[in-house]
Amino acid sequence: MALFFDAAWFDAQLQTRNATRLELADHLKITPGEVDELWKDQRELKSHEVLAMARFLGAAPEEIAARAGVSTPVPRDPAGAGDTAAKLEELNGRLIKLERMLVELKTLLLERGR
């Protein structure tokens, strides 16, 4: 369990980035309930979640770990991993847009065929 979670600091970081806890949950690939558990200090961030949260909030992994009260060693971001992760996230966003466009196109084609 976390030693202490600085919920006010994390809320401020989210607000600064116009982001929500729901968006953070999606980025961390955890449920909104699990994010709530973090905020209530009932769940500790895992090492890969520390890195993902650092990327999402634009903060150093060491600061995320300290503010989250992580008692395990702070993970290190391998050289270039942040750049690679950012590129993958951009590509994922583009892929999602393409998939939406395909669904819209398919819907239009089916409607025209009726």
Give 59-83 pLDDT, tens digit per residue.
988 899 889 988 655 556 666 666 6
Structure tokens at 107: 């819907």
Using pLDDT thresholds of 50, 70 and 90, give the confidence band for residue 2. Answer: very low
Residue with structure tokens 């980035």?
A: 17
Q: Phi and psi of 103, rounded to 5°?
A: -65, -45
Whole-number pLDDT of residue 1? 42
Whole-number pLDDT of residue 91? 84
The pTM assigned to this predicted structure is: 0.61
Q: Is the pLDDT of residue 35 over 60?
A: yes
Task: Indicate the CATH number of 1-76 among 1.10.260.40, 3.90.950.20, 3.40.50.620, 3.30.428.10.
Answer: 1.10.260.40
Structure tokens at 58: 């634009």
Structure tokens at 102: 């395909």
